[in-house]
Amino acid sequence: MHRYCRALDSGLVDEWVEVFTDDAVFDTVLPDGQVWAHLSTRDEFRSFLDAYPRRPQVAPKHVMVDPIIEVDGAEATGESTFLYLMQSPGTPPQLVAWGHYRDRFRKEDGRWRILERIAETEANAV
């Protein structure tokens, strides 16, 4: 879960893609229920991160807190709170959005990976 945040904010494409299973689905849902992003193929995951804002243009930071994980064999479910902060050059950091991650995980080859992530945005400043 923390590898996801670090790789996303740092633009580490290979590391970010590897936190997901090959058949993963990732949706970001806005407060009005609109799906802002839907990813379901490795190419879509890579393209998403290739286009994601990062230094030096902006400094994004995802902070994930209060994870609750329920493990059932080689699968698990999880819920956590996220905060999304952003800093443009010459400006102070701003809290841009917050919400919940709702996750399903699968253990593959000894590593836990995200099978499904729904980022439910509760509020945003945009």
Over residues 39-44, the mean pLDDT reads 96
CB of 80 closer than 8 Å to CB of 101:
yes
Over residues 36-44, the mean pLDDT reads 96
Distance separating alpha carbons of residues 17 and 50, to the nearest angstrom: 11
pLDDT at res. 116 = 98
Q: What is the CA 86 to chain-centroid distance, rounded?
A: 15
Reference 60, options 101, 109, 8, 98; nearest CA is 8
Residue 49 burial (10 A CB sphere; 0-12, 13-18, 19+): buried
pLDDT at res. 52 = 84
Which run of H or E residues covers position 35? strand 35-39
- For 44-100, what is each residue's pLDDT tens digit? 999 998 888 877 778 899 999 999 999 999 999 999 999 999 988 888 999 999 999
Q: What is the pTM of this model?
A: 0.91
Reference 102, options 72, 62, 67, 73; nearest CA is 67
Distance separating alpha carbons of residues 123 and 125, to the nearest angstrom: 7
Task: Give the chain's mean pLDDT.
Answer: 94
